[in-house]
Amino acid sequence: MTSKNNIPTNAKLTLCIPTKNRSEFLSRLLHYYENTNYQHWIFIGDASNTSHYEATQQTIKSLEGKLKVRHFEHTGMDIVQSFDSFKHLFSTPFSAFCSDDDFVLTQGIEKCIRFMEDNPDYSAAHGKGIVFFLITADHMARLKISILTPKQFRMLKQEKSAYLIILIPVLLP
């Protein structure tokens, strides 16, 4: 069900996005969700300076009626503090967390929601992931891309690898 503005009235997920001084990344991400018909809440915890915060406000205003976004000013907060400050405001049964430079596929989100609804004994769902490694040699950088299965992701996580920091989770349909 959608309202007259095409905004979902029965959103099932809140996507939490922390950001700091990366309004361009966030603008790109919000337009991605607009273009993929994302139908759920987006909460942004923004620790940016004034110019980036205002730029994000402008992006959100330009998407009014197209996305359901709440933008929180969290100057001086880290990611955990930011999340803790608004998690009590969720009105959805599910939540996801991604960075401002991650792209979680809308179809993958829907697939995970269906899985969670059909399997109430589970507490989390994760699709396939793509990991980007930056390899530098002789002042040149090249990108190595690896596709991870959920099992490989769990193994990498257990190793507490430094690469986990640059892991970009993507839920694939």
Degrees, nearest 5: CA angle 129-125-172: 35
Whether 21 shows a pLDDT value over 80: the answer reads yes
Is 152 domain-assigned?
A: yes
140 in the same domain as 102:
no
| 136-152: average pLDDT | 52
Is 97 domain-assigned?
A: yes
109 in the same domain as 138:
no
164 in the same domain as 93:
no
Q: What's the domain count of the chain? A: 2
63 in the same domain as 142:
no
Output the pLDDT for position 120: 87
Mean pLDDT across the chain: 77
Is 35 domain-assigned?
A: yes
Q: Which among 130, 114, 124, 121 is positioned nearest to 171, based on CA atoms?
A: 130
| Lowest-confidence region among 22-31, 45-54, 144-153, 163-172 | 163-172
155 in the same domain as 81:
no
104 in the same domain as 47:
yes
Is 8 domain-assigned?
A: no
Is 2 domain-assigned?
A: no
Output the pLDDT for position 164: 40
164 in the same domain as 84:
no
Whether 18 shows a pLDDT value over 50: the answer reads yes
Please name the helix (run of DSSP H) or strand (run of DSSP E) that holds residue 53, with its range, or none.
helix 50-62
Output the pLDDT for position 118: 92
- Asked if 104 contacts 15 with a C-beta cutoff of 8 angstroms, the reply is yes
Share of the chain above pLDDT 90, in %: 35
Residues contacting residue 173 through CB under 8 Å, at least 6 positions apart: 105, 107, 108, 111, 127
Is 159 domain-assigned?
A: yes
Is 23 domain-assigned?
A: yes
Q: What is the residue range of 70's domain?
A: 13-118
Is 7 domain-assigned?
A: no
Whether 145 shows a pLDDT value over 50: the answer reads no
- Asked if 30 contacts 2 with a C-beta cutoff of 8 angstroms, the reply is no
Whether 59 shows a pLDDT value over 80: the answer reads yes
